[in-house]
């Protein structure tokens, strides 16, 4: 993973003391949606403004650091991206909740910080790279501050915001943060080939973050009329859309439109999304709703894991005693795929840890159960597919051992059930 660096917002930083009070709860957009002109000012002025509670998502900046814990308590639903640095230092408080619950869990907040494109001709602003849990907070914030960046794409969305709803605007012109993934390796390509062979033309795809989901998208170049309904999309969706593979033509819902909650990738996907009528950003209460998801025929939910045990329990949060992932929306997407006619609920992961060679198919999880075995569907490694749907515990055990790395199968077989 490479995080593209950019220049900091121009000085002087805005004085935030007019709007932010000690004890306030503050939320801002994740990844490229972080309004750095505002967040850097917050950190610089924390001694005057604090104590504060800040809730962030997937971060691409190091704006928040462990040293800021003197005045800022940081919460997040994940330890992904640069949040991992905070987690390692014990300076990150995790919200272990399903992704669609975030608007409800965050409740009525004090300050919402947005990173917006310039206003449309009607004077209103699209919400930039995201809607997900941010958009539902707009009517629930006491104060809304916005960085309006002339390099932010204007992406069509279900919700927008008017100038009368914004308390203060800082205008900037700066490059957006990007996430550039390395090309998939041999293991990722083998996993992707297994999955691509199961996906039918006309399927509707959801994919998680990272190298593996992008590898799967890269293996679908010969498919036709695929659709997208996902929590997040990246460069691979842009590539397949422009190649004519993703058309959304057969979707049961939102026909002709790619639906997602936010964008995470390089400038490639940001430019692709700008004013694209075939793309719609929506809140997570819609993108992650199992009732909406199961309404799609052939809905394919593709998510990853840290490890999976022999019964199908999934740990997507902790590795080696460290919090590195999230509860996220995997269980919601898997439930939607289970209910979909022709749906595929998929968890995909390499069979071993790259550096140590330890098995990621395990007899007992080394972390929490992020997704229960009752939601298990297809577990995929480079060694094949274990379809656990309708299988007993004994049957699951055999299927899971068969997709573990060969050098670990005997030890797994000898482990107590």
The pLDDT tens digits of the residues spanning 321-356 come to 999 999 999 999 999 999 999 999 999 999 999 999
Per domain, the residue ranges of the chain are: 2-177, 186-414
Q: Is the pLDDT of residue 8 over 90?
A: no
- The pLDDT, as a whole number, for residue 1 is 47
Share of the chain above pLDDT 70, in %: 97
25 in the Ramachandran plot: left (φ > 0), alpha (ψ -120 to 50) or beta? Answer: beta
| Long-range contacts at 383-392 (CB < 8 A, ≥ 24 apart) | 383/351, 384/194, 385/194, 385/198, 388/312, 389/338, 389/345
Per DSSP, 26 falls in state E
Which CATH code, of 3.30.420.40, 3.90.550.10, 3.40.50.300, 3.40.1080.20, is assigned to 186-414?
Answer: 3.40.1080.20
Confidence of residue 10 (pLDDT cuts 50, 70, 90): low
Q: Is the pLDDT of residue 2 over 60?
A: no
pTM over 0.85: yes
Assigned CATH topology for domain 2-177: Glutaconate Coenzyme A-transferase (3.40.1080)
pLDDT tens-digit map of 134-188: 999 999 999 999 999 999 999 999 999 999 999 999 999 999 999 998 999 999 9
Nearest partner of 390 among 382, 381, 399, judged by Cα:
399
Based on DSSP, count helices (H) and strands (E) in the chain, helices before strands: 13, 22
Pairing of strands 307-309, 314-315: antiparallel
Please spell the DSSP secondary structure of 257-284, one letter per residue: -EEEEEE-S-HHHHHHHTT-TTEEE-BH
- Mean of pLDDT values over 12-34: 94
- The pLDDT, as a whole number, for residue 3 is 45
122, 127, 128, 133: CA torsion to nearest 10: -170
Q: Is the pLDDT of residue 4 over 80?
A: no
Q: Is the pLDDT of residue 122 over 70?
A: yes
Question: Do 365 and 349 contact (CB within 8 A), yes or no?
Answer: no
d(CA 157, CA 299): 22
Tokens of 379: 């577990």
Mean pLDDT (the chain) is 95
Q: Which residues pair with residue 318 across a beta bridge?
A: 323
Nearest partner of 312 among 341, 338, 277, judged by Cα:
338
Distance of alpha carbon 89 from its chain centroid, rounded? 23
- Mean of pLDDT values over 98-112: 96
Share of the chain above pLDDT 90, in %: 94
- The pLDDT, as a whole number, for residue 416 is 86
Confidence of residue 195 (pLDDT cuts 50, 70, 90): very high
Characterize 318-351 residue by residue with b for buried, 16 or more Cβ atoms within 10 angstroms of its Cβ, and e for exposed: bbeeebbbbbbbbbbbbbbbbbbeebbbbbbbbb
Q: Is the pLDDT of residue 9 over 70?
A: no
If residue 160 lies in a helix (H) or strand (E), which one and from where to where? Answer: none
Query: CA–CA distance from 414 to each of 204, 351, 362, 400, 401 (Å)?
Result: 40, 18, 12, 13, 11
Distance of alpha carbon 65 from its chain centroid, rounded? 22
- Mean of pLDDT values over 27-44: 97
Cis link prior to 12 (omega < 30° from 0)? Answer: yes
3 state DSSP class of 67: helix
Q: Is the pLDDT of residue 311 over 80?
A: yes
- The pLDDT, as a whole number, for residue 328 is 93
3-state helix, strand, coil in the chain (%, to 5): 30, 25, 45
Q: Which residues pair with residue 22 across a beta bridge?
A: none
Q: Which residue has the tokens 């012109």?
A: 173
- Mean of pLDDT values over 376-383: 98
Q: Is the pLDDT of residue 7 over 70?
A: no
């Amino acid at each position: 993973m490479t995080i593209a660096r950019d220049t900091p917002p121009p000085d002087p930083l805005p004085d935030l003391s007019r709007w932010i009070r000690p004890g306030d709860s503050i939320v801002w957009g994740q990844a490229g949606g972080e309004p750095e002109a505002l967040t850097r000012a917050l950190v610089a002025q924390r001694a005057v403004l604090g104590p504060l509670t800040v809730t962030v998502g997937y971060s691409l900046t190091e704006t928040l650091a462990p040293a800021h814990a003197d005045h800022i308590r940081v919460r997040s639903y994940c330890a992904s991206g640069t949040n991992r640095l905070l987690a390692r230092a014990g300076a990150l408080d995790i919200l272990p909740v399903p992704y669609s619950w975030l608007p409800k869990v965050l409740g009525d907040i004090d300050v919402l910080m947005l990173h917006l494109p310039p206003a449309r001709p009607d004077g209103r602003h699209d919400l930039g790279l995201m809607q997900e849990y941010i958009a539902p907070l707009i009517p629930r914030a006491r104060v809304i501050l916005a960085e309006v960046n002339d390099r932010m794409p204007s992406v069509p969305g279900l919700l927008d915001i008017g100038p009368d709803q914004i308390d203060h605007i800082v205008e900037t012109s700066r490059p957006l943060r990007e996430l550039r993934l390395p090309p998939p390796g041999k293991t990722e390509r083998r996993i992707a080939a297994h999955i691509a062979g199961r996906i039918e033309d006309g399927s509707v795809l959801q994919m998680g973050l990272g190298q593996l989901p992008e590898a799967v998208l890269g293996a679908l170049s010969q498919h036709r009329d695929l659709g997208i309904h996902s929590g997040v999309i990246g460069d691979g969706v842009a590539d397949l859309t422009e190649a004519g593979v993703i058309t959304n033509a057969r979707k049961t819902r939102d026909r002709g439109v790619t639906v997602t909650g936010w964008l995470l990738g390089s400038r490639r996907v940001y430019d692709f999304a700008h004013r694209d009528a075939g793309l719609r950003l929506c809140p997570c209460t819609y993108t992650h709703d199992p009732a909406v998801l199961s309404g799609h025929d052939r809905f394919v939910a593709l998510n990853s894991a840290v490890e999976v045990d022999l019964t199908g329990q999934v740990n997507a949060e902790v590795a080696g005693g460290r919090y590195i992932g999230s509860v996220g929306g995997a269980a919601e997407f898997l439930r939607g795929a289970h209910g979909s006619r022709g749906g595929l609920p998929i968890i995909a992961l390499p069979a071993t840890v790259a550096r140590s060679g330890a098995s990621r198919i395990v007899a007992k999880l080394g972390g929490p159960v992020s997704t229960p075995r009752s939601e298990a569907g297809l577990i995929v490694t480079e060694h094949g597919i274990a379809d656990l749907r309708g299988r007993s515990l004994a049957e699951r055990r055999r299927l899971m051992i068969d997709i573990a790395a060969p050098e670990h199968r005997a030890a797994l077989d000898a482990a107590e059930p």
